[in-house]
C-alpha cells in the first residue's frame, strides 16, 4: 500500500481433514490481516478429538516498492549575477520528504546558499528509505550575466596633419582592452589602427562584447585638419606653363580690377605675402633677364612653405 508500510493479504483457506471429528483448528494470523513489510510466518494448527495435533506454515513476504516522495522544491530558480562577480548565491528551503515506511537518508550535492557560476547548474536531492528505495529530484539554478563589459583604455581625440599630396592621414593607436565580471569576450573597432582617414572628423566606434552577449559601445574621434591646396608659383593663370601670359595675368589683377584668382599664392612670385606689381617685374626678370626663378613651389606642385594671409582655394594644374 502506497500510504502504509505493509499490506492486507488474503489467501484461500486450507482444507483440513481427519478420520475422526475435528476438535479445533487455529491460525496464527487471520486471513485478510495487515502484514508489515518483510517476512511473516502464518501457521495453521489442527487438533482432533484424540489430542493428535498437526501444524503447517507458509511465509508471506510484503515488498516495499514505493520510493520516497520529495516535495516543496521549485522546478528552477533564476537569478542575476552579483555586481563584479561571475555568478551569484542561490537560496531555497530544503524539501519535504515523506515515505510509506521510514526515511534512511536524504542528501543533496549542493546546499542552499551556495555560489553558482554563470549558466545552468543542477542541484540533485536523493532520498533513500529503509528498504533501499531511492528517489531523486533536480532543481535547476540559472544565473544570468546582466553586467556589460567596460572599455578601459579608450584613446583621447586624435588630431592629424594631412599629407600634402593625398590630403589624407594615417591614424595609429594602442591596442584596446576591456574588463568584465567574467572571462572571455572580444573587442572590435569600426576602423582599424593604421587606417587612412580623410579630411574632417571621423568617429571610430569601439564595441566590447562579453561571453554572455552583453555589449558596450564607445567612440573616439580622429580629426584630419584641412588640406592645403598644391600649386605652381609663377603659373599664375593655371594653364600649366610659365610664360609672359602669367605676368600679364598679374598686372590685370593688380591694375584692371579683375576677379580675384582662385589661387593668390601662385601670383606671389617673390613669396613676400603680397600680390603687387613687384611680382610681375619678378616674373619678367626670371623669364627674360636671367633673374631668380619664383620661390618654391614652382617646378613641381606643392604647398606654400611660408605662412601668410594669401590663400589657394583651388588649382587645376595640380592634383
Domain borders along the chain are: 6-62, 69-144, 150-224, 229-319
In CATH, 150-224 is 2.60.40: yes
Tell me the mean pLDDT in the region 307-319. 88
Q: Please give the pLDDT value at position 237.
A: 94
Answer whether 69-144 and 150-224 agree in fold.
Answer: yes
Say if strands 76-80 and 134-144 run parallel, antiparallel, or are unpaired.
parallel
Tell me the mean pLDDT in the region 164-174. 89
Query: Strand, coil or helix: what is 75?
Result: coil
Interaxial angle between packed helices 277-288 and 244-255, expressed in degrees from 0 to 180 and rounded to the nearest 10: 170
pLDDT of 196 over the 90 cut: yes
d(CA 147, CA 145): 6
For residue 142, the cross-strand partners are: 78, 120
Of 2.60.40, 2.40.50, 3.80.30, 3.10.110, the CATH number of 69-144 is 2.60.40
240-274, pLDDT tens digit by residue? 999 999 999 999 999 987 888 999 999 999 999 99
pTM of the entire structure?
Answer: 0.65
207-221, pLDDT tens digit by residue? 999 999 999 999 999
Tell me the mean pLDDT in the region 130-153. 97
CB under 8 A, 24+ apart: contacts of 199-205: 199/162, 199/167, 199/168, 199/224, 199/225, 199/226, 199/227, 200/224
Mean pLDDT of the chain: 94
**H helix intervals, the chain:** 244-255, 277-288
Residue 1 binned pLDDT confidence (cut-offs 50, 70, 90): low
Q: Please give the pLDDT value at position 20.
A: 79
Which residue would you say has higher pLDDT here, 51 or 139? 139
pLDDT of 136 over the 80 cut: yes
pLDDT of 21 over the 80 cut: no
49-104, pLDDT tens digit by residue? 888 999 999 999 999 999 999 999 999 999 999 999 999 999 999 999 999 999 99
Question: What single DSSP character describes residue 312?
Answer: B
Question: What CATH number belongs to 229-319?
Answer: 1.10.1330.10
DSSP string, 124-154: EEEEEETT--EEEEEEEEEEE--PPPEE--P
Residue 227 binned pLDDT confidence (cut-offs 50, 70, 90): confident
Amino acid at each position: 500500500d502506497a500510504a502504509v508500510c505493509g499490506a492486507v493479504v488474503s489467501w484461500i483457506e486450507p482444507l483440513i481433514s481427519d478420520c475422526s471429528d475435528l476438535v479445533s483448528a487455529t491460525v496464527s494470523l487471520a486471513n485478510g490481516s495487515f502484514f508489515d513489510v518483510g517476512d511473516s510466518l502464518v501457521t495453521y494448527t489442527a487438533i482432533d478429538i484424540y489430542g493428535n495435533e498437526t501444524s503447517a506454515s507458509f511465509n508471506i513476504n510484503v515488498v516495499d516498492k514505493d520510493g520516497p516522495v520529495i516535495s516543496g522544491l521549485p522546478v528552477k530558480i533564476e537569478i542575476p549575477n552579483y555586481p563584479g562577480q561571475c555568478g551569484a548565491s542561490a537560496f531555497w528551503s530544503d524539501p519535504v520528504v515523506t515515505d510509506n515506511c521510514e526515511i534512511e537518508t536524504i542528501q543533496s550535492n549542493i546546499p542552499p546558499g551556495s555560489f553558482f557560476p554563470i549558466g545552468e547548474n543542477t542541484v540533485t536531492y536523493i532520498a533513500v528509505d529503509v528498504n533501499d528505495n531511492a528517489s531523486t529530484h533536480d532543481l535547476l539554478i540559472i544565473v544570468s550575466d546582466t553586467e556589460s563589459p567596460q572599455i578601459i583604455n579608450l584613446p583621447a581625440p586624435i588630431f592629424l596633419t594631412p599629407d600634402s599630396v593625398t590630403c589624407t592621414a594615417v591614424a595609429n593607436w594602442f591596442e584596446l582592452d576591456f574588463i568584465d565580471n567574467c572571462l572571455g569576450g572580444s573587442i572590435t573597432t569600426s576602423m582599424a589602427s593604421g587606417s587612412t582617414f580623410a579630411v574632417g572628423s571621423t568617429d571610430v566606434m569601439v564595441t566590447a562584447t562579453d561571453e554572455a552577449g552583453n555589449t558596450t559601445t564607445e567612440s573616439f574621434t580622429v580629426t584630419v585638419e584641412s588640406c592645403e591646396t598644391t600649386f605652381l608659383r609663377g603659373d599664375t593663370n593655371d594653364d600649366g606653363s610659365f610664360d609672359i601670359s602669367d605676368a600679364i595675368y598679374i598686372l590685370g589683377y593688380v591694375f584692371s580690377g579683375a576677379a580675384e584668382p582662385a589661387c593668390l599664392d601662385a601670383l606671389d612670385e617673390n613669396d613676400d605675402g603680397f600680390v603687387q606689381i613687384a611680382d610681375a617685374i619678378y616674373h619678367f626678370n626670371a623669364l627674360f633677364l636671367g633673374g631668380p626663378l619664383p620661390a618654391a613651389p614652382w617646378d613641381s606642385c606643392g604647398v606654400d612653405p611660408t605662412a601668410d594671409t594669401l590663400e589657394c582655394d583651388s588649382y587645376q594644374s595640380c592634383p
